[in-house]
């Protein structure tokens, strides 16, 4: 397990998403990441309720942990994230993000309770927002979290095209962070459609954590692709 401090998060972080990997040869995908310059591994958890897809659970994360010391960035795309926190903390998560949209039902716990539980585990906490969700809804939680996840595709499937309007949202969040003197505390993660040709544009908008799936794992040389992105 690798804990990523706030000062390290201020640097560019490339987080390959194994959702786009070949699951029949997952060990090779993990080895590519271990042998590259990346420091994070992005793990998308889907329950086929919050999003129309089903991925994997804590047992798979626990098995992957046996083969990697990378920072495990667990992204919960589930309808009731609170119920899953303990399982993924125990599985080896170093950071957990949950969707603000998943906390809107009266049958789920409010965001502050999730934030407190994640932080008490001494891991990083993020809040994710879908492309159609405005930033304003999470502003009151910014001082309590470590990163915002800006979804630049509709969550659920790898290989989608980058939604260009995400750039304006990233700029808005970066301005808010700087104005509120949260620059040393809160990072911006952009997740979805990240390619070598648009990564710099996303970074210039203010994101410093880039999640890349298909661009990495569908390339001829995943290690080289990660390293090129890391050098932007």
Percent composition of the chain: helix, strand, coil (DSSP 3-state, to 5): 40, 20, 40
How far is 45 from 42, CA to CA, in rounded Å? Answer: 10
The pLDDT profile of the chain, 232 residues, written as one tens digit per residue, is: 444 444 455 589 999 999 999 999 999 999 999 999 999 999 999 999 999 899 999 999 999 999 999 999 999 999 999 999 999 999 999 999 999 999 987 667 899 999 999 999 999 999 999 999 999 999 999 999 999 999 999 987 777 899 999 999 999 999 999 999 999 999 999 999 999 999 999 999 999 999 999 999 999 999 999 999 999 8
Residue 117: CB partners within 8 Å, gap ≥ 6? Answer: 82, 85
Which of 25, 44, 94, 146 does the annotation list as catalytic? Answer: 44
Q: Which residue has the tokens 């950071």?
A: 95
Please compute Rg for the chain using Cα positions: 16
What is the number of structural domains in the chain?
1
Please check whether residue 52 lies inside any domain of the structure: yes
Domain region containing 150: 6-230
Which of 146, 184, 191, 224 does the annotation list as catalytic? Answer: 191
DSSP state of 138: G
Please check whether residue 155 lies inside any domain of the structure: yes
pTM: 0.94
**H/E stretch holding 149:** strand 147-151
Please check whether residue 1 lies inside any domain of the structure: no
* Known catalytic membership, residue 44: yes
CB-CB contact of 121 with 151 (8 Å)? no
* Known catalytic membership, residue 22: no
DSSP state of 77: E
CB-CB contact of 166 with 150 (8 Å)? yes
CATH number of the domain enclosing 28: 3.20.20.70
Please check whether residue 117 lies inside any domain of the structure: yes
Q: What is the pLDDT of residue 9?
A: 56
């Amino acid at each position: 397990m690798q804990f990523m401090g706030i000062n390290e998060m201020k640097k560019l972080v490339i987080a390959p998403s194994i959702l786009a990997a070949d699951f029949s040869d997952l060990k090779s995908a993990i080895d590519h990441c271990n042998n590259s310059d990346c420091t994070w591994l992005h793990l998308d958890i889907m329950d086929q309720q919050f999003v129309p897809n089903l991925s994997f659970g804590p047992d798979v994360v626990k098995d992957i942990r046996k083969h990697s010391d990378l920072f495990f960035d667990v992204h919960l795309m589930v309808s009731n994230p609170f119920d899953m926190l303990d399982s993924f903390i125990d599985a080896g998560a170093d950071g957990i993000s949950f969707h603000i949209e998943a906390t809107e039902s009266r049958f789920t716990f409010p965001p502050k309770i999730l934030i407190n539980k994640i932080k008490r585990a001494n891991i990083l906490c993020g809040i994710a927002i879908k492309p159609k969700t405005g930033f304003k809804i999470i502003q009151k939680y910014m001082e309590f979290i470590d990163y915002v996840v800006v979804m630049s595709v509709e969550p659920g499937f790898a290989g989608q095209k980058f939604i260009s309007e995400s750039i304006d949202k990233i700029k808005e969040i970066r301005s808010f962070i700087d104005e509120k003197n949260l620059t040393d505390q809160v990072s911006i993660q952009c997740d979805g459609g990240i390619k070598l040709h648009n990564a710099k544009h996303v970074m210039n908008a203010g994101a410093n954590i880039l999640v890349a799936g298909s661009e990495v794992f569908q390339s001829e040389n995943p290690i080289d692709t990660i390293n090129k992105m890391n050098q932007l």
